[in-house]
């Protein structure tokens, strides 16, 4: 009887150890023929003082990146319905392009001039909505992210930009889609980098507000350095720390070689997660369309990361696959029918 009890007890212990090992996240598993590791909560280490002051300041002022308003996008249909006295459209395109056709009532303000325009030319909170429009919706998403962080809570980015407003506009989306790299997609799950420090900001400021002010304005003039193409990334993916900012099932169906998945709504503003983004590497962020990744890139660049958003996202390298799996994966492949026929004026 004693032997039987000891045997049963031993079986229970072995089962418990097996269960703990399976849940620990430290064991490698086999999935679809690839060696993968399960996601484990990253460890938190100390971060430099300026980064800590900045992240605390943003959290105290509303934690926009973890709110329901992030990312702040508006589609063409909703924007068209909202047009009126309480809506301001700010067209960020080049003046010569703006003159060829724009939304009635829109004002032309290029990205570097946006902070001054908001501070000196208008009373932003007199409007229900301020809609930023660009060529494809990606630079306006970047700018919207920065303006929202500055406290302008009524700013939205026009999804697909003017490419989605009227077929007579210069359609950047039609030129941006491609399926060239579908055969190079990777299905291996990659681990996040070990936790480290945030980038050193070196502003010399002593409060979160002062650090924020010193960092935010220059970013409006730096968008050209904040983008990258699929051709560049696929040529040498090993050069970059590539962030796939998508749902897990979308990541699992195929991603850029070496890409690491970061959870939307569970990364930005969370110290332990952001510490796994290397401070000394070039970061590429991508999503389905390039809109969400532009929001993320703006936030990371605020903290000093050398982050770049992939233009047109998955649409720029796996467009056919997005169409084929659209219903099962809820992809958002661009189609010409996504471009509406709303009026423009000269």
Query: pLDDT tens across 123-145, in order?
Result: 999 999 999 999 999 999 999 99
Query: Among 42-51, 104-113, 148-157, 201-210, where is mean pLDDT lowest?
Result: 42-51
List the CATH code of the domain at 182-329. Answer: 3.40.250.10
Residue 33 has pLDDT above 70, yes or no: no
Domains 63-176 and 182-329 fall in the same CATH topology: yes
At residue 46, the pLDDT reads 87
Q: What is the DSSP string of 198-239?
A: PPP------SHHHHHHHHHHHHTT-GGGGEE-HHHHHH-GGG
Model pLDDT for residues 177-198, shown as the tens digit of each residue = 999 999 999 999 999 999 999 9
Parse the chain into domains and list their residue ranges. Answer: 63-176, 182-329
At residue 148, the pLDDT reads 98
Q: Mean of the pLDDT values across residues 154-179?
A: 97
Looking at domain 63-176, does it have CATH number 3.40.250.10?
yes
Which helix H or strand E contains 90, and what residues bound it? strand 87-91
At residue 39, the pLDDT reads 52
Query: Among 30-34, 248-252, 272-276, 339-343, where is mean pLDDT lowest?
Result: 30-34
Residue 283 has pLDDT above 70, yes or no: yes
- Confidence bin at 8 (pLDDT 50/70/90): very low
Model pLDDT for residues 298-339, shown as the tens digit of each residue = 999 999 999 999 999 999 999 999 999 999 999 999 999 999
Model pLDDT for residues 38-81, shown as the tens digit of each residue = 355 555 678 999 999 999 999 999 999 999 999 999 999 999 99
0.85 surpassed by pTM: yes
């Amino acid at each position: 009887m004693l032997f039987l009890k000891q045997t049963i007890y031993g079986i229970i212990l072995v089962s418990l150890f097996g269960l703990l090992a399976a849940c620990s996240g430290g064991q490698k598993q086999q999935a679809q023929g690839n060696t993968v590791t399960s996601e484990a909560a990253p460890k938190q280490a100390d971060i430099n003082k300026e980064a800590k002051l900045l992240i605390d300041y943003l959290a105290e002022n509303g934690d926009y990146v973890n709110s329901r308003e992030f990312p702040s996008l508006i589609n063409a249909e909703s924007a068209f319905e909202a047009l009126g006295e309480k809506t301001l459209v700010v067209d960020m395109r080049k003046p010569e392009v703006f003159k060829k056709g724009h939304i009635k009532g829109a004002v032309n303000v290029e990205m570097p001039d946006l902070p001054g325009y908001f501070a000196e030319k208008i009373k932003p909170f007199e409007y229900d909505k301020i809609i930023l429009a660009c060529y494809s919706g990606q630079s306006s998403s970047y700018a919207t992210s920065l303006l929202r962080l500055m406290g302008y809570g009524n700013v939205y980015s026009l999804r697909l930009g003017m490419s989605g407003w009227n077929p007579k506009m210069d359609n950047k989306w039609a030129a941006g889609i491609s399926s060239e790299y579908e055969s190079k997609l990777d299905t291996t799950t990659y681990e996040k980098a070990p936790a480290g420090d945030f980038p050193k900001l070196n502003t010399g400021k002593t409060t979160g507000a002062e650090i924020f002010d010193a960092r935010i304005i220059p970013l409006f003039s730096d968008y050209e350095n904040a983008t990258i193409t699929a051709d560049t990334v696929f040529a040498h993916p090993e050069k970059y720390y590539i962030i796939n900012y998508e749902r897990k099932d979308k990541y699992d169906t195929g991603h850029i070689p070496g890409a690491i998945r970061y959870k939307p709504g569970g990364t930005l503003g969370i110290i332990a997660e952001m510490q796994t983004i290397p401070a000394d590497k070039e970061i590429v962020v991508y999503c389905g369309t390039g809109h969400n990744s532009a929001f993320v890139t703006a936030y990371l660049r605020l903290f000093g990361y050398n982050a770049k958003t992939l233009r047109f996202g998955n649409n720029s390298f796996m467009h056919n696959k997005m169409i084929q799996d659209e219903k099962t994966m809820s992809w958002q492949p661009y189609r010409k029918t996504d471009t509406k026929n709303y009026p423009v004026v000269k």
